[in-house]
Amino acid sequence: MDQRDEQEFAEYFAARREAVRRTAFLLCGDWHRADDFAQTAFVALHRRWRKVRDKGALDAYVRRSLVRAVIDESRRPWRRERFVDQVPEAPSGDGEVADSVATREALVAGLKRVPPRQRAVLVLRFLEGLDVAAAAEALGCSEGTVKSQTSRGLEALRAALGDTIDDLRPAS
Amino acid sequence: MDEQKLAELFRDAARDAPPASFDVAGVRSASALATARRRTQVALGSALAVVLVLGGVVATSVSPRSEGNTTAAGSAEDASSPNVSTFGVPELAPNEASPDRNGGLPPKSIPEDPPTQGGELSGSADRSTVGGAPTGCAEVDRELAVALADELPVARGLTPAPAAVSCPPGSRGASYLLRDGGVTGTVSVVLTPPGELPPSFDEGTRSETASASGGRELHVLSRPEAGSPVVPFADELPALAGRLATRF
């Protein structure tokens, strides 16, 4: 890449790095691995920077690379995720801060118990704020699949968290 | 369930991120490394493909040659064909030999049984060791066959036969069944060692002799086909013997 391309990439990287890291964190539940996945996505973008003509599609490209990297990794035998029956203990303590930390950790732990593809749908829909069509493009599937995966993912998340988070209780 | 609240929960869960463990320089170096690795893979793949293609070409070009060598090394069933092909004289299937010029496939053109020579390699150029056999030149000598084919109008692909005479020990010989105008006959060439008697031949055969190198003698013999009183190439035999003798 020439100097101008490198400059544009550096600007995009600086603007999007934290957002991509957060998405990666909710997809895998671990900040170290999240950094690895985010870097993988940015490396893929850097290698194809000159070929991506529509700079408005950069986010979609990075998102797609990230989700694929996480799902592919979860399929490898030595990385295959194992579900456990017990949710990790919430930190003890009183007050609003303690509740907030407990809620965050409970959500991350609950997400780790959701199957990878359903988890990706939930993260794209609720963290990234994508609509059904954009999520379907990022995952390379149909919109109907995104809807069904969203429904199943929420059910799995509720089942994993129980009554830990009130906002996840189904409206009755 | 409120999707807005759910989105807030997700965003809140991903808050308080630790400092990033990579920067743009790391991304650039990893990208360069991946690109270099990719180029290496492509180069290795191309080199492997070239090696495979060359190997295939070499294998296909070597196969017929090795097959010819195997045959020339001495097949007891077909000893005459490889002798000719090794010297580059074109060879055709027997049914491709033009019958109009040769009068059909002659029984005399079929070589004698090679095993009578004790299984000697037909590919050997030095035929002087044949001397132990009583007839001396029961096998086709390739050098003589090629020389004779050069001097006479031998049909393309015609298979040489052993000399149609009885040779003294240590002799070498070859013959062709040829047509001279309307006359058909067998023209033989025999190279005898120094001091040996000339080859004996049937009645009606005409023979011419010339001196070859080393005291050897080169005999050219023309025998008409049965029932024909005219000897083919009769007038040319002296000159033919002289020309052939200069080669040996």
pLDDT digits (tens, 9 = 90+) for B56-108: 998 888 776 554 454 444 444 444 444 444 444 444 444 444 444 444 444 44
User: Residue B163 in 3-state DSSP?
Assistant: coil
Per-residue pLDDT band for A82 (boundaries 50, 70, 90) equals low
Strands B217-224 and B206-211: antiparallel
Q: Does B17 touch chain A (CB under 8 A)?
A: yes
Q: What percent of chain B has pLDDT over 90?
A: 12
Look at residue B113 and tell me whether its pLDDT is greater than 80. no
Q: Taking residues A136-141, what's their average pLDDT?
A: 87
Query: What's residue A15's pLDDT?
Result: 93
> Within 10 Å of residue B69's Cβ, how many Cβ atoms?
12
- B chain contacts of residue A107, beta-carbon cutoff 8 Å: 9-10, 13
User: Residue B210 in 3-state DSSP?
Assistant: strand
Look at residue A80 and tell me whether its pLDDT is greater than 70. no
Q: Does B12 touch chain A (CB under 8 A)?
A: yes
Q: What percent of chain A has pLDDT over 90?
A: 37
Query: What's residue A42's pLDDT?
Result: 94
User: Residue A163 in 3-state DSSP?
Assistant: coil
User: Residue B231 in 3-state DSSP?
Assistant: coil
Give residues 28 to 87 of B whose Cβ lies within 8 Å of A.
28, 30-31, 34-35
The answer to whether the CB atoms of A170 and B27 lie below 8 A apart is no
Among A105-109, B48-52, B199-203, the range scoring the smallest mean pLDDT is: B199-203
CB burial of residue B111 (10 Å; 0-12, 13-18, 19+): buried
Structure-model confidence comparison of residues B157 and B32, the more confident one: B32
In the block, tokens 């149609």 appear at: B164
pLDDT digit string (tens) for B227-236?
A: 777 888 888 8
Q: b or e along B167-190 (b: 16 or more beta carbons within 10 Å of the residue's beta carbon)?
A: bbbbbbbbbbbbbbeebbbbbbbb
- B chain contacts of residue A22, beta-carbon cutoff 8 Å: 11, 14-15, 17
Look at residue B147 and tell me whether its pLDDT is greater than 60. yes
Would you say B198 and B232 are in contact if contact means Cβ atoms under 8 Å apart? Answer: no
**CA–CA gap between residue A47 and residue A44 (Å, rounded):** 5
pLDDT digit string (tens) for A10-62?
A: 999 999 999 999 999 999 988 999 999 999 999 999 998 888 767 778 888 99
| Joined tokens for residue B144 | 């003589």
Q: What percent of chain B has pLDDT over 70?
A: 70
Strands B206-211 and B172-180: unpaired
User: Residue B31 in 3-state DSSP?
Assistant: helix
Query: What's residue B184's pLDDT?
Result: 84
Contact partners, residue A24, CB within 8 Å, separation at least 6: A33, A34, A35, A37, A38, A41, A66, A70
Query: What's residue B96's pLDDT?
Result: 44
Q: Taking residues B172-192, what's their average pLDDT?
A: 86
Amino acid at B84: V
> Within 10 Å of residue B46's Cβ, how many Cβ atoms?
10
Query: CA nearest B35: which of A34, A62, A73, A1?
Result: A1
Per-residue pLDDT band for A3 (boundaries 50, 70, 90) equals confident
| Joined tokens for residue B241 | 């013997």
> Within 10 Å of residue B227's Cβ, how many Cβ atoms?
5
Q: Taking all residues of chain B, what is their mean pLDDT, rounded to a whole number?
A: 74
Contact partners, residue A5, CB within 8 Å, separation at least 6: A49, A50
Structure-model confidence comparison of residues B130 and A157, the more confident one: A157
Would you say B230 and B179 are in contact if contact means Cβ atoms under 8 Å apart? Answer: no
Among B127-141, B154-168, B171-185, B188-202, the range scoring the smallest mean pLDDT is: B127-141
Per-residue pLDDT band for A172 (boundaries 50, 70, 90) equals very low
- A chain contacts of residue B5, beta-carbon cutoff 8 Å: 167
Claim: this prediction has a pTM higher than 0.90: no
Look at residue A95 and tell me whether its pLDDT is greater than 50. yes
Query: CA nearest A146: which of A162, A169, A172, A125?
Result: A125
User: Residue B218 in 3-state DSSP?
Assistant: strand
Query: What's residue B198's pLDDT?
Result: 81
**CA–CA gap between residue A38 and residue A33 (Å, rounded):** 9
The answer to whether the CB atoms of A104 and B15 lie below 8 A apart is yes
E strand or H helix that includes residue B185: strand B183-192
Q: Taking residues B147-169, what's their average pLDDT?
A: 81
The answer to whether the CB atoms of A104 and B12 lie below 8 A apart is yes
Q: Taking residues A104-130, what's their average pLDDT?
A: 89
- B chain contacts of residue A127, beta-carbon cutoff 8 Å: 7, 10-11, 14
Q: Taking residues B178-199, what's their average pLDDT?
A: 84
Query: What's residue A166's pLDDT?
Result: 61
The answer to whether the CB atoms of B11 and A127 lie below 8 A apart is yes
Whether the complex's predicted ipTM is more than 0.85 is answered with: no
CB burial of residue A62 (10 Å; 0-12, 13-18, 19+): buried
- Cα separation of the two ends of chain B: 110
- φ, ψ (nearest 5 deg) of residue B47: -60, -40
